[in-house]
Structure 1
Amino acid sequence: MKVDFGKTAQDYRQHRAGFPEAFFARAAALGVGLAGQQMLDVGTGTGTLARGFALRGAQVTALDPAAPLLEQARSLDEQAGVQIAYHEGTAEALPFGDESFDVLSAGQCWHWFDRAKAAQEAYRVLRRGGVMAIAHFDWLPLSGNVVEATEQLILQHNPGWQGAGGTGIHATHFADLAQAGFVGLESFSFDVPVSYSHEAWRGRIRASAGVAASLSPAAVAVFDQELAALLARDFHDDPLCIPHRVLMVYARKY
């Protein structure tokens, strides 16, 4: 399945909920995203993590392969009153020198990389004592909830999609970092509800890998109509309460 999030740029900007404030507070308590830190955010998308850290005083550089997403990120930065240096590129071949950053973050994107190469590159560009932080903010499909029903609908339209049934816990990240030489691996996680109107949930799902990032526009339109009908028929609450899980796996370079 070929995935191009650049095709979802507008919905991605408008409807994908950014990491909650509680995430940034927990990260800061662990030394991630502090004022004055030189940070690199890879797979930045529309800059959710990068902007959050920049608002807290970090000096942030960010990178993504999708130019349309970076355009949206710059626009959102202007509204937020922050400046981030954006680069078009990949996590597997970072266009930066050795030991250039204090912290490297990757939000909601690590699974899209060649993880071994990305971890090696992260180790290379981090300074001694630097922190690598992999973060997720995943919806949770629970029995009978709207997330489960939505995932089943995505699979009907896109059987090649492999994102269904997640738990928000990504155990492989520990091995990825350890094999690249990182030490002191730890993690935290917590759950938080996110409110979506029916319209916003449809936009959030259009912006996912299994829908507009991999289906044709005509197929996306058909899917969206069916999702609207499903919500109207089976999930009357508006807004919807969507359970999410936050996870951060972090380690240091020594």
Structure 2
Amino acid sequence: MIIKDSTIDGGKGFDWGKVSAEYAKYRDIYPQEFYQKILDLGLCKDSQKILDLGTGTGVLPRNLYCYGGKWVGTDISAEQIAQAKRLSVGMDIDYEVAATEDIGFPTDSFDVITACQCFWYFDHAHVMPNLYRMLKPNGKLLVLYMAWLPYEDEIAGKSEDLVLKYSPAWSGARETVHPIQIPALYQQKFDLIHHEEYRLNVHFTRDSWHGRMKACRGVGASLSKEELKAWESEHLKLLSEIAPVEFDVKHYAALAELQAKK
């Protein structure tokens, strides 16, 4: 499914289904510290009912499943949901193909709603009241994000430069450490009760970093076959010149915890 948004990548279309296999193999990269921050907030565990928006291949539900929450994951991409189901065999996780704007679970269904790496894709004027409706009283909306730091890490910076060579309007570039921006309209129904930003290192091999970069929106999800082949050739050559066989890439992570108003 091709998605186009004038505020993202200059309106260039992208399709997560094109990279769902790479997403499944290379995007399950959050270190334990990332998950521990969630657990330390008392969220996503102990029989809580949780809705994970934009679940992709189910990374969040799968990695937090052992802590006892009851998960539902939704995603606009049927290919991503297919991968999530494949990777979740043996786990009692429900997955549905649905755009966040079209979700219609009953009122007071969830203790927690999570949105990891996807919050900026939503039509917030439409989505915000529905999220509030689906949360139980005092329920939590948890927005999560992690990104490499191109100005602080040579491998990340030069890999990002190569993405911009092929996708110059890609708006996922040039990240620095900052809080997650929550649209002002959420103040109507939610209180921002906690936010946190922290640095962390993520370990890669040349192959896994190449795969992670290929799975990003500006590469595999949007380039033509010919462009992708050329990008892959250049990126593999770049890594052979600047990257050891294994290495850490500097990242930062951020979270914003919002509580539904009474």
* TM-score between the two structures when normalised by the length of structure 1: 0.93
Whether the 8 Å contact between 1:53 and 1:60 is mirrored in structure 2 is no
The one-letter code matched in structure 2 to 1:251 is L
Percent identity over the alignment is 29
Matches within 5 A, 1:92-107: 92-107=101-116
Give the conservation status (yes or no) of the 8 Å contact 1:5–1:66: yes
Equivalent residue for 2:118, pick from 101, 109, 123: 109
Residues 34 and 161 of structure 1, relative CA distance in 2, 3 Å threshold: same
Q: Does the residue aligned with 1:209 lie in a helix, a strand or coil?
A: coil
**CA deviations over 1:105-137 (Å, ceiling 9, x no partner):** 011111122233332221121111100000012
CA RMSD in angstroms comes to 1.6
Alpha-carbon distance in structure 1 between the residues aligned to 2:238 and 2:29: 25
1:193 matched to 2:204? The reply is no
**Aligned-partner Cα distance in 2 for 1:122–1:144:** 37
For the Cα contact (< 8 Å) 1:65–1:89, is it kept in 2?
yes
- CA gap 1:143/1:214 in 2 versus in 1, 3 angstroms: same
Q: 2:68 aligns with which of 57, 66, 78?
A: 57
Distance 1:121 1:241 in 2: 40
Letter in 2 for 1:10: A
- In the alignment, what sits opposite 1:252? 259
Q: Matched residues in 2 for 1:184 and 1:153: separation?
A: 37
Paired residue total: 250
1:61 Cα deviation (Å)? 0.6
Residue of 48, 68, 79 corresponding to 2:59: 48
What SS does the corresponding residue of 2:175 show, helix, strand or coil? coil
Unaligned runs of 5+ in 2: 1-11
Shift of residue 91 of structure 1?
Answer: 1.4
Structure 1 partner of 2:215? 207
* Alpha carbons 2:153, 2:250 under 8 Å: kept: no
Which residue of the partner structure matches residue 31 of structure 1?
42
Counterpart of 2:111 in 1: which secondary structure?
A: strand
- What residue identity is the alignment partner of 1:12? Y
Partner of 2:178: 169
1:170 and 1:92, CA in 2 relative to 1: closer, same or farther beyond 3 A?
A: farther
State the distance in 2 between where 1:51 and 1:144 align.
29
What per-residue deviation string (whole Å, max 9, x for no partner) do you get for residues 51-74 of structure 1? Answer: 223221100011001011111111
Contact 1:50 1:60 in 2 (8 A): yes
Listed one character per residue, the Cα deviations across residues 175-229 of structure 1 (whole Å, up to 9, x for unaligned) are 35324x1014311222211111111111111100000101112211110100111
Aligned to 1:237: 244
Would you say 1:152 and 2:161 are equivalent positions?
Answer: yes
1:109 corresponds to which letter in structure 2?
A: C
Q: CA deviation at 1:25?
A: 2.0
Match of 1:75 in 2: 86
Counterpart for residue 99 of structure 2:
90
Question: Which residue of 211, 215, 219 maps to 2:227?
Answer: 219
3-state SS in 2 of match to 1:33 = coil
Cα deviation code 1:212-247 (max 9, x no counterpart): 1011122111101001111122x1322121111121
Letter in 2 for 1:214: S
Question: Residue 169 of structure 2: SS of its match in structure 1?
Answer: coil
Partners of 2:173 and 2:201 lie apart in 1 by 19
Question: Does the residue aligned with 2:156 lie in a helix, a strand or coil?
Answer: helix
Q: Do the aligned partners of residues 243 and 55 (structure 1) sit closer, same or farther apart at CA in structure 2, a change above 3 Å counting?
A: same
TM-score with structure 2 length normalisation? 0.90
Q: Quote the Cα distance in structure 2 between the aligned partners of 1:144 and 1:60.
A: 35
Matched residue, 1:66: 77
2:5 matched to 1:10?
no
For 1:19 and 1:144, the matched residues in 2 are separated by 18
